[in-house]
Amino acid sequence: MKTKKLVAAMLLIGLCLVSQAQTNSQKSSDPDNLAKEYFSQIMGVAANATTNTKLYQFVYEWLGTPYRLGGDSKRGIDCSKFSLAVYENVFNTTIGYNSRNQYQNVTPVRKGELEAGDLVFFKIRSRNITHVGVYLGDDKFAHASSSRGVMVSNLNEAYWKRYYYNGGRPKVDDAKIMTADANPKEKSNLN
């Protein structure tokens, strides 16, 4: 009798393990989950923080693009044109053409309240805003670095921590919302 109970218990445990393995394989075969896991690894952002696949895909496609002051193409781009391109292509909205102008078009957000897609601003050796990036989550942001081109950096690195000024979320009017949908119902407008 003891042997039958032992065999039954082992079969039950085996079925549970097989069921769990099937559930995990179904999750990883979901294209959205696969994309989130991939971008999570590439950009160093936790998979559960990777909420906007379109944002991460856009950033990924631009990684390594060289820096060029005033540039706005994959041959070369500067930080404000990169953030502008992100907003035009991912969120279907326009935010301004330089970092200071972009800051005028945002509602300030505390560092601890940043969400994917928010802008992060820096005052590098200046009293004025001189650099902008797009927050990705987990203290990571994408930007066009003058030394390394489009890349992902960490807000907690000493350099960025030293020059960090503020975060911001683009202003939108009440009737429209900022969206990452490819076919939004209404295009958002900034104040």
pLDDT in tens, the chain (191 residues): 666 655 555 655 655 555 555 555 444 455 556 555 655 555 555 555 556 788 988 999 999 999 999 999 999 999 999 999 999 999 999 999 999 999 999 999 999 999 999 999 999 999 999 999 999 998 999 999 999 999 999 999 999 999 999 999 998 754 344 433 333 333 333 33
Structure tokens at 78: 């500067």
Q: What is the pLDDT of residue 12?
A: 59
8 vs 64: CA distance, rounded Å:
57
Q: Active site includes 79?
A: yes
CA nearest to 151, candidates 141, 166, 160: 141
Rg (Cα) of the chain, in Å, rounded? 22
52, 136, 143, 178: the active-site residue: 143
Please tell me the pTM assigned to this model: 0.70
Q: What is the pLDDT of residue 53?
A: 81
Q: How many CA atoms lie within 13 A of 85 on its CB side?
A: 23
36, 81, 131, 140: the active-site residue: 131
Q: Active site includes 143?
A: yes
Q: How many other CB atoms are there within 10 angstroms of residue 74's CB atom?
A: 13
Question: Over the stretch 86-107, which tens digit does the pLDDT of each residue have?
Answer: 999 999 999 999 999 999 999 9
Q: What is the pLDDT of residue 52?
A: 73
* Residue/partner pairs of 77-83 with CB below 8 Å, 24 or more apart: 77/144, 77/149, 77/150, 78/144, 79/131, 79/132, 79/133, 79/143, 79/144, 79/145, 79/146, 80/132, 81/144, 82/134, 82/142, 82/143, 82/144, 82/150, 83/119, 83/132, 83/133, 83/134, 83/143
79, 95, 120, 136: the active-site residue: 79
Q: Active site includes 131?
A: yes
